[in-house]
Every structure is written in structure tokens, then in C-alpha cells.
Amino acid sequence: MLFVGINPGVQSALTGHHFAGPSNRFWKLLSESRLVPEPITYVDDDRLTEWGYGITNIVARPTPGINDLRPVEYAEGARVLLEKVERYQPAVVALVGVTVFRALLEALGEDRPRTRPVELGFQKEMAGAKIFVLPNPSGRNANFSYAEMLAAFQLLKRSTLPNRQRKK
């Protein structure tokens, strides 16, 4: 599985680790949903490969907020992301935020993706990978409660477990 964020925030740029902002709940959600078997934080982001996960951003440039990003950066980032997906062939691409999904749709030429309603969960496949939209866990995201975020991360876990590991 490949997790895809929007872009590094200031704290992530300073520390060199993904989702490092003090109000970002990504790592807590990974732990509480049991997508990882033990509590980890941003300093452990290099350990994600132990559990078969990768992590990247759609835009590499750090900014204080997503309002500082330009549409051309999303378009170029989406192109690069699709190349990564084709190269590494993850079974699932977990987009961390509706904004990431809309940027991909726009890069693929979908009409009016910025106004299209998006539900969390699985979407159409892209480049041979299942696409799963998660809520953005940033403390700035007021669109989803923590309970809704956790439910989405838990659904991702349940939906991607190999059959032999699922509870009967």
C-alpha cells in the first residue's frame, strides 16, 4: 500500500519526516486502526516498509498550507504519482485527503473534479491500483471528526487484510 499526502508542511520539511506537524493525527490513526501493529510516530516513518507500506506526497514542495500550492504543481505531481504507481505497482493507493483525489482526477482529465462530491473509501482504479480516499488528518481539517477519520482508517484495514487474516 502506498500512502499519498498532499505536500510536506513546515514541520515535516524541518524534520525530514512525513506528517510531522504537532496537530497531525496520521500516526495516531495508523496505530489506533491497527494498520500498524504498534504505536509509531513521524520519526518512525521509515519503518512503514516493515509492514508493506510506502509513503509519498503528490507535491514535493513544502508550504505552510495547501493554499500556497498552484494548480500546475498538483498536475505535475499527479503525473509523477501515476508513474510511481505504474513502476512500484502497489495493490492499494491510499490518498490522504480528498484534495489529493481531486488533483488526480483533474490530472486524468475529469471534468470539474474540484466540485465533484467525494465519498471516503474505494474509488475507481488508477494505473492498476485500487484507490482508497482517506480524510486528511491535519489538525486544520474540520471536515471530519476524529471518529469519522478513525472509521475510514479502520475500513481501509478491514478491506485490505488478506482473506486468511480476516475474522470470521
- In sequence order, the β-bridge partners of residue 94 are 3, 132
Residue 165 lies in a domain: no
Residue 87 lies in a domain: yes
| Domain span including residue 108 | 2-159
Overall pTM surpassing 0.85 (yes/no) = yes
**Between 97 and 67, the higher pLDDT residue:** 97
- Minimal CA–CA distance to 102: which of 126, 69, 78, 125? 78
| pLDDT recorded at residue 29 | 97
pLDDT, the chain, mean:
89
Identify whether 18 is a catalytic site residue: yes
For cell 475507481, the residue is: 124
| pLDDT recorded at residue 71 | 86
Give the number of domains in the chain: 1
Residues 6+ apart with CB under 8 A from 17: 42, 43, 45
Q: H or E element: which one contains 98?
A: helix 98-107
User: Residue 165 pLDDT > 50, yes or no?
Assistant: no
- What would the pLDDT profile of 12-34 be if each residue is shown by its tens digit? 999 999 999 999 999 999 999 99
Identify whether 67 is a catalytic site residue: no
Q: What is the DSSP letter of 38?
A: S
Distance between CA atoms of 54 and 88, rounded to whole angstroms?
Answer: 10
Phi and psi, residue 126, nearest 5°:
-135, 130
| pLDDT recorded at residue 162 | 62
Under a CB-based contact definition with an 8 Å cutoff, are residues 75 and 106 in contact? yes
Residue range 50-62: mean pLDDT, rounded: 95
Residue 164 lies in a domain: no
Cell of residue 62, nine digits = 513544502
The catalytic position among 7, 24, 57, 136 is 7
- What would the pLDDT profile of 111-140 be if each residue is shown by its tens digit? 766 677 889 999 988 888 999 999 999 877
The catalytic position among 18, 24, 57, 136 is 18
For residue 12, the domain's CATH number is 3.40.470.10
